[in-house]
Amino acid sequence: MEDVRSIYTFGRELGRGQFGVTYLVTHKTTKEQFACKSIATRKLVRRDDLDDIRREVQIMYHLTGHRNIVELKGAYEDRHSVNLIMELCAGGELFDRIISKGHYSERAAAEMCRQMVAVVHNCHSMGVIHRDLKPENFLLLNKHENSPLKATDFGLSVFFKPGDVFKDLVGSAYYVAPEVLRRNYGPEADIWSAGIILYILLSGVPPFWAEKEQGIFDAILRGHIDFASDPWPKISSSAKDLIKKMLQGDPKERITAAEVLIGYRGELHVSFSRIQMIMDNCISASAISSLL
């Protein structure tokens, strides 16, 4: 079994999670830098923990190649750890960028929404549900203001087939869909999470909030979205309409990733009003053609 430390030089710590530590590493031959997620096998106490890590590796290899998903370069396993060598995203987490900025302009939020929904669409078309979309799990490729987003941490992700129903309660409190709380969900839960992130990008706060986790869950199940508080009166009705469609309580009625992307039509720097107009026109044309 090849030793990761014979290929890469380990540098400073980049982050720390429940199971492991992420380090800056440098390839000894090419001098190219990467991120290495190092998971200590002693922390994998359940029989299924190692299987979960192997599934994460399998899913990342399956999805590698999409411009908004962190690329997995290699995986190494020894007696002490599992090491995932990944594309280095020097801009850090989207979560930290939101904290420093407060909130984003509509134009910037629209572009970030496009990238997040592109990830969701790619995952779903490849038979994968992410199940833990949140700002902490989107990295910025570089420190530039308009840096591309890269989805990461597929530790809770699963493969699915059309019609599959999942019942395990996973995800992060603010971003979890109501059907997940009811333990009866499918891929639509990812669009809900992306809608929550869009709400936060525009306002700086989550739509469903409470001091305790159960209070957050209760608010999610009630489904009341606050569009009255600042800054929402200044935000376009088109932006609010898209959020409402993404946060539709009934997953069968919720907008799909493909339907959201129709509104972008490959355009750069598109506004929410433009997205809504294109979506409405496409839906109208589809409805008319179905009657012919």
The number of domains in the chain is: 2
pLDDT in tens, 238-272: 999 999 999 999 999 999 999 998 876 644 456 67
Entry field: residues in the chain: 292
If one counts every other C-beta atom within 10 angstroms of the C-beta of residue 159, the result is 13
Listed residues 56, 86, 116: the one ending a domain = 86
* Residues 23, 165 within the same domain: no
End-to-end Cα, the chain, rounded Å: 63
* Residues 65, 98 within the same domain: no
**CA 220 – CA 181 distance, rounded (Å):** 9
* Residues 48, 160 within the same domain: no
Print pLDDT tens along the chain (292 aa): 578 999 999 999 998 876 789 999 999 999 999 999 998 887 777 777 878 888 999 999 999 999 999 999 999 988 888 999 999 999 999 999 999 998 899 999 999 999 999 999 999 999 999 999 999 999 999 999 999 999 999 989 999 999 999 999 999 999 999 999 999 999 999 999 999 999 999 999 999 999 999 999 999 999 999 999 999 999 999 999 999 999 999 999 999 999 998 876 644 456 677 666 766 766 544 433 332 2
* Residues 245, 215 within the same domain: yes
φ and ψ at residue 132, rounded to 5 degrees: -150, 45
* Residues 29, 147 within the same domain: no
**CA 133 – CA 95 distance, rounded (Å):** 12
DSSP letter for each residue of the chain: ---GGGTEEEEEEEEE-SSEEEEEEEETTT--EEEEEEEEGGG--SHHHHHHHHHHHHHHHHHTT-TTBPPEEEEEE-SSEEEEEE---TTEEHHHHHHHHSS--HHHHHHHHHHHHHHHHHHHHTTEE----SGGGEEESSSSTTPPEEE---TT-EE--TT--B----S-GGG--HHHHTT-B-THHHHHHHHHHHHHHHHSS-SS--SSHHHHHHHHHH-----SSTTGGGS-HHHHHHHHHHT-SSTTTSPPHHHHHHTTTT-SS--HHHHHHHHHHHHHHHHHHHH-
* Residues 212, 283 within the same domain: yes
* Residues 119, 180 within the same domain: yes
pLDDT in tens, 95-106: 999 999 988 999
Q: Which range marks the domain in which residue 32 is found?
A: 4-86
Q: What is the pLDDT of residue 275?
A: 66
**CA 67 – CA 5 distance, rounded (Å):** 28
CATH number, domain of 17, equals: 3.30.200.20
- Residues 58/49, Cβ–Cβ less than 8 Å: no
* Residues 193, 270 within the same domain: yes
CATH number, domain of 144, equals: 1.10.510.10
Listed residues 71, 86, 101: the one ending a domain = 86
Is 143 assigned a ligand-binding role in the annotation?
no
Listed residues 42, 57, 86: the one ending a domain = 86
Considering only CA atoms, which of 251, 244, 249 is closest in space to residue 276? 244
- Residues 149/99, Cβ–Cβ less than 8 Å: no
Sign of the dihedral defined by the CA atoms of residues 181, 186, 188, 190, in that order? positive
* Residues 218, 138 within the same domain: yes
**Catalytic residue list contains 132:** yes
Tell me whether residue 274 is exposed, middle or buried, using C-beta atoms within 10 angstroms of its C-beta: 0 to 12, 13 to 18, 19 or more.
middle
* Residues 141, 233 within the same domain: yes
* Residues 242, 267 within the same domain: yes
> From the candidates 49, 78, 132, 250, which is the catalytic residue?
132
Q: What is the pLDDT of residue 97?
A: 94
* Residues 124, 257 within the same domain: yes
